């Protein structure tokens, strides 16, 4: 697994075939990663933004695949996703540097208030989340997890999935829709 991932990095970054062969001939995965990362830090002039963009896109692809598998395995949770129909899905959580692009950066209670005060429609809100981080207000994320869930919902619907096909998730409506509790949506 380490070798296939390293191979993908080489193709994306356009590194020399001699270095590729040297690293792929190593048998210890840890040694491959440590040499590869030290090479990236010392000998290449690859922009940090290029590396960051690659890792973020790969991470989001992995999240999408994992969520699709979860929905396929838990049919009641899939029904909850399908019941949202064409609604905008927003992953509400406080801003943190690790999850800044995955969440919207606000708790649900705060997001509802901001959305109500701004009197924006859903299209404006989606465009707001799709802007680069430099053009959004401080501490507002990109809601990538919400957008991934919307893509998955669309894929399932186009694949012929309907809420009536699946069992109901046994939970109260407040759990599905959220509450105004001040302790809701904290990231620890």
For residue range 27-70, what is the model confidence (pLDDT) as tens digits?
A: 887 787 777 777 776 766 777 677 777 778 888 999 999 999 99
- The 3-class secondary structure across 68-104, one letter per residue, is HHHHHHCHHHHHHHHHCCCCCCCCCCECCCCCCCCCC
Alpha carbon 134 to its chain centroid, in Å, reads 19
* pLDDT band for position 182 (cuts 50, 70, 90): low
Among 12-26, 53-67, 141-155, which range has the highest average pLDDT?
A: 141-155
Give me the pLDDT at residue 1, please: 44
Nearest to 2 by CA among 21, 24, 17: 24
- In order, the DSSP letters of 116-142 are HHHT--HHHHHHHHHS-GGGS-TT---
For the ranges 18-22, 42-46, 56-60, 152-156, the one whose mean pLDDT is highest: 152-156
pLDDT at 187 > cutoff 80:
no
Q: Say what the pLDDT of residue 63 is.
A: 93
Residue 186 is predicted with a pLDDT of 54
């Amino acid at each position: 697994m380490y070798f296939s991932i390293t191979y993908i990095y080489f193709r994306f970054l356009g590194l020399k075939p001699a270095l590729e062969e040297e690293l792929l001939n190593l048998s210890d995965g840890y040694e491959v990663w440590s040499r590869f990362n030290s090479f990236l830090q010392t000998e290449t002039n690859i922009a940090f933004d290029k590396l960051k963009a690659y890792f973020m896109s790969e991470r989001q692809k992995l999240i999408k695949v994992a969520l699709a598998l979860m929905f396929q395995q838990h049919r009641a949770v899939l029904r909850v996703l399908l019941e949202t129909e064409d609604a905008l899905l927003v992953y509400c959580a406080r801003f943190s540097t690790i999850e800044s692009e995955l969440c919207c950066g606000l708790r649900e209670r705060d997001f509802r208030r901001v959305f109500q005060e701004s009197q924006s429609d859903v299209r404006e809100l989606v465009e707001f989340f799709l802007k680069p981080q430099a053009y959004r207000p401080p501490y507002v994320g990109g809601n990538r997890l919400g957008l991934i869930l919307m893509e998955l919902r669309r894929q399932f619907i186009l694949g012929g999935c309907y809420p009536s096909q699946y069992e109901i998730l046994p939970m109260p409506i407040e759990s599905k829709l959220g509450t105004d509790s001040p302790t809701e949506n904290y990231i620890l």
